[in-house]
Every structure is written in structure tokens, then in C-alpha cells.
Amino acid sequence: MLKVKYMDKDEMELARSLETEEWVSDLPRRDKQRYEEYARTSLTKQKRINIRMTERDLKKIQARAIEEGIPYQSLISMLIHKYNEGKVTIHERN
């Protein structure tokens, strides 16, 4: 089941029913394929962003990317993706 921190009982039941495929689409096959393609395209579309960071941080990221054998932009993108998926967390140090 999806791991979402703030789901009430009804939302949890809905998530469970979606994951167990209790829902059946009444769309014609042609329309369903078209909407699936729209979703696939929108989820894989790349966007360009600009960020500001210290030169020191950029140099460190570039060095780590060289060690990993990937472009530094790919490393930054991967880190953002992992954070969004909950695989990387931020812990403040006191």
C-alpha cells in the first residue's frame, strides 16, 4: 500500500482498492490507450531549471559526478528524484 503520512481511513481504503485493481475502466480501449500515452508523456517530460549554489558546492558535486562516471547535471537530477521518492532525507544537525 502507498506510504503516505496523512491519509484518513477513507483515503487508505481508496488507495487499497486502487492497488488491488478493484476499479475497472469503462473507457473504450482506444480512449484508454490515448490517455495512457498522455500520462506517459507528461511524466517523462524533462524541464530545464536554473539554481544558484556556491562555487564550492558546485565543484564538489562535479568531483563526485566524475567519481561516479556521470554528468554532474544527472547527479543533481538523481538526488532530487531520490529525495522526492523518500529515499533521501534531510536531517538537521544540532
Task: Inform me whether the pLDDT recorded for 69 exceeds 50.
Answer: yes
For residue 64, the enclosing domain spans 51-89
pLDDT of residue 89: 84
64 falls within a domain:
yes
12 falls within a domain:
no
94 falls within a domain:
no
Query: Average of pLDDT values for 21-31?
Result: 83
Please write the tens of the pLDDT for every residue from 75-89: 999 999 889 888 888
Domain count across the chain: 1
Give CA–CA dist 71/88, Å, rounded: 20
56 falls within a domain:
yes
45 falls within a domain:
no
pLDDT-derived band at 1, boundaries 50, 70, 90: very low
Q: What is the DSSP string of the chain?
A: ----TT--HHHHHHHHHHHTT-----S-HHHHHHHHHHHHHHHH----------HHHHHHHHHHHHHHTS-HHHHHHHHHHHHHTTSS------
> Does this model's pTM top 0.75?
no
